[in-house]
Amino acid sequence: MAPQIDTHQPTAEAAARPADSLSFEAPYLIEKLVNDRVVADRAEGELLFGEVKRYFLLSRSDRGRIWEMHSLRVDDVWHQFVLFTRQYIEFCNRYYGTYLSHSPSNAPESPKMNPGLTAPVATFAEFRDRYEELFGEPLPDCWYDERSITLDRRILDNRVGRLLMLQDAGRVELIAAGGEVVFGVSAIAADAISFMADAGAFYVRELPGDLDGDEKIDLVSTMVQQKLLRVG
Give pLDDT, residue 117: 57
53-67, 99-113, 116-130, 154-168: least confidently modelled range: 99-113
Question: Which whole-number Å values give the CA distances from 83 to 6, 63, 91, in the listed order?
Answer: 29, 26, 13
Give the mean model confidence (pLDDT) for residues 139-163: 92
pLDDT averaged over every residue in the chain = 87
Indicate if the pLDDT at residue 13 is higher than 70: no
Indicate if the pLDDT at residue 23 is higher than 90: yes
Q: How far is CA 81 from the centre of its chain?
A: 15
Compare 199 and 104 and report the one with higher pLDDT: 199
CB 223 within 8 A of CB 183: yes
Compare 57 and 230 and report the one with higher pLDDT: 57
For 33-90, the pLDDT digits (tens) are: 999 888 889 999 999 999 999 999 999 999 899 999 999 889 999 999 999 999 999 9
CATH class of residue range 147-231: alpha beta
Question: Which whole-number Å values give the CA distances from 207 to 4, 165, 199, 210, in the listed order?
Answer: 45, 17, 10, 9
Give pLDDT, residue 169: 83
Percent of the chain with pLDDT over 70: 86
For 163-194, the pLDDT digits (tens) are: 999 998 899 999 999 899 999 999 999 999 99
Give pLDDT, residue 103: 58
Compare 105 and 114 and report the one with higher pLDDT: 114
- H or E segment to which residue 95 belongs: helix 85-96
Instruction: Give the three-class secondary structure for 73.
Output: helix
Percent of the chain with pLDDT over 90: 71
Residues 6+ apart with CB under 8 A from 93: 99
Q: Domain residues of the chain, as ranges?
A: 12-143, 147-231
Strands 171-175, 164-168: pairing is: antiparallel
Give the mean model confidence (pLDDT) for residues 199-223: 95
Indicate if the pLDDT at residue 27 is higher than 50: yes
Give pLDDT, residue 116: 56
Give pLDDT, residue 2: 42
